[in-house]
A = this chain, B = another copy of it.
Amino acid sequence: VTTRARIEHDLRTSIRAGALAPGTPLPSTRALAADLGVSRGVVVEAYAQLAAEGWLVTRRGAPTRVGSDLSFAHPTTGRTDARSRPPRTVRYDLRTGRPDLAAFPRAAWARAVAAVVRAAPDAALDYGDPRGAPALREALVAHLGRVRGAVATPQRVVVCAGTAAGLPLVLRALRARGARRVGVEDPGWREQARAVRLAGLEPVPVRVDARGLVVDRLEERALDAVMVTPAHQFPTGVVLAPERRAALVAWARAAPGRLVVEDDYDAEYRYDREPIGALQGLAPDVVAYAGSASKTLAPALRLGWLVLPPDLAAAVAEDNARGVPALDQLALAALVERGELTRHLRRTRRTYRARRDALVAALAAHLPAAEVTGVAAGLHVVARVPDAHALADAARSHGVAVQTLHRHCTASPQHPPALLLGYGALPEPALERAVALLAGV
């Protein structure tokens, strides 16, 4: 730090703190220089800098003064964010949506990033295509076709910062083309309805039963779009039944501009059979598909993807100028191309399956009244228990963080009370202990 910078800093601080009130004349540059034992030129420059910034006002033939409109207080810190509040002591965190962060393939990721940073051409460091890096979009087309039965071309893929960033892009594009009402699952992921509202659209709850979203009365609800999690509904864990898949597509095709938004939530994890293919593969003309690496690799990567009908792809890409870091995109492309993502999925599927089995066994042993519903998939189990709400409250005070199904209901209170038990982040012995603790509450 130069002498001049220090003089500027001290003056700014004094003015900001109120020690130098607005309008106060400053010592002459000559006097201050003598006081500080520096050359006069340094003080002249510091005064000029602060005058250019508006802290000081200089007038020919008059002393330099503190500016007159600097009456602001100290910066305040604002309200503490909910997420940064110190949590109560949680010994076992069974909340949903938490993958096994310890399973993140650090070595493979570090290798991929290092190779990209070393070898990517300079052009890859520029703003880039708003749809995302071509290499990643090509890798995703092949991967999603193989793993999820999705039908895509690179032009119809838009890389985004996870599903939470991708859904608003789709919704804003819908809003721009005149959509107004969007069906959301009830019970469902609250973020669906919130994103719909933030995009200036009206969320309309649509009931979910044991065969998934109830589609037989969509027509009379005057919807422009429907958001759905067909492969493993959140939170009920059911799969959208085949005839409903067909009916949903038929609804979308019955009038121009209708869209189904498929949130392919944790669809890579199915333990009793092959995962159900994406709805998008059945009707790429009317389904917008959203997937991400948040559950399969790590949420912190902020890497997701949309596969869109052509008209929507262009509109969404235009809104996506913010984009996703290219180096991360290229690293993911390398992971996909080398088959490392598929191997990682295979490994984690084994891990999660063992965790789910341990959790279900622990429930049978310690909490036999609990009835496990939903298919063997994803990262959480739905356990029906009569007193779910009271149990969850009591569990929390014993250090077991757990949610209830009803937290995710909007207008459908007919669902039997149930606990949602996320098992992604806990090894088997911890799950066993957590359930024992839960049963003892």
**Contacts from A to B (Cβ < 8 Å):** 1, 5, 8, 12, 16, 49, 51-55, 57, 67-70, 72-73, 75-81, 83-84, 98, 101-102, 104, 106, 109-110, 113-114, 117-118, 122-131, 134, 146, 149, 151-153, 155-156, 160-162, 164-165, 168, 172, 191, 198, 200, 239, 242-243, 245-246, 249-250, 253, 273-274, 276-277, 279, 281-285, 294, 298-303, 310-311, 313-314, 317, 319, 321-328
Q: Are A155 and B77 in contact (CB under 8 A)?
A: yes
Q: Which interface residue of A109, A124, A302, A310 has the most chain B CB atoms within 10 A?
A: A302
- With contact pairs A114-B114, A242-B53 given, residues A301 and B325 touching in the complex (Cβ less than 8 Å): yes
Could you list 25 A-B pairs, sorted by A, with CB under 8 Å?
Answer: A8-B149, A49-B277, A51-B242, A53-B279, A54-B279, A57-B242, A57-B246, A69-B246, A75-B152, A75-B310, A77-B153, A78-B311, A81-B314, A81-B317, A84-B129, A106-B117, A113-B114, A125-B301, A126-B298, A127-B299, A128-B300, A161-B324, A162-B322, A191-B321, A302-B323
Contact residues in B for A101 (Cβ distance below 8 Å): 122-123, 125-126
Give Cα distance in the complex from A102 to B436, angstroms.
Answer: 59
**Measured between alpha carbons, how far is A160 from B323 in the docked complex, in Å?**
11
User: In the assembled complex, how far is the CB of residue A357 from the closest CB belonging to chain B, in whole angstroms?
Assistant: 22
| Smallest CB separation, A80 vs chain B (Å) | 7
> How far apart are A178's CB and chain B's nearest CB, in angstroms?
15
Assembly CA distance A46 to B239 (angstroms): 18
- Docked pose: A311 CA to B78 CA in angstroms: 6
Complex partner residue of A161 from B68, B303, B322, CB under 8 angstroms: B322
Nearest CB to that of A67 among chain B residues? B246
The docked-state distance in angstroms from the alpha carbon of A68 to that of B245 is 12
New A-B contacts (8) at CB < 8 Å, excluding given A69-B246, A80-B155, A302-B326: A1-B146, A5-B274, A12-B149, A54-B249, A54-B279, A77-B310, A127-B294, A301-B325
Contact partners of A164 in chain B: CB under 8 A: 321-322
**CA of A301 to CA of B274, assembled, Å:** 37
Most-contacted residue by chain B among A70, A72, A102 (CB, 10 A) = A72
Let me know if B155 and A253 touch, CB within 8 A.
no
User: How far apart are the CA atoms of A109 and B327 in the complex, in Å?
Assistant: 11
A28 to B82, CA, bound (A): 59
Q: Which residues of B contact A191 (CB under 8 A)?
A: 321
Decide: B54 and A310 in contact? CB cutoff 8 A. Answer: no
B282 and A52 within 8 A (CB):
no
Is there contact, CB below 8 Å, between B16 and A298?
no
Q: For residue A75, which residue of chain B has the nearest CB?
A: B284
CA distance A246 to B52 in the complex (A): 10
From B12, B75, B156, B246, A54 is in contact (CB under 8 Å) with B246
Known: A83-B129, A117-B106, A125-B104. A249 touches B69 (CB 8 A): yes
Collect the chain B residues with CB atoms within 8 Å of residue A75's CB: 151-153, 156, 284-285, 310
- Cα(A54)–Cα(B243), bound, Å: 7
Tell me the nearest residue of chain B to A168, going by C-beta.
B322
Quote the shortest CB–CB distance from A238 to chain B (angstroms): 12
Bound Cα distance from A53 to B106, whole angstroms: 35
Q: Closest 6 interchain pairs by CB?
A: A78-B310, A165-B322, A54-B245, A300-B326, A125-B298, A101-B122
Verify A323–B242 contact, CB threshold 8 A.
no
A435 to chain B, nearest CB (A): 23
Chain B residue numbers with a CB within 8 Å of A294 are 127
Residues of B within 8 A of A55 (CB): 282
Contact between chains at A282 and B70 (CB < 8 Å): yes
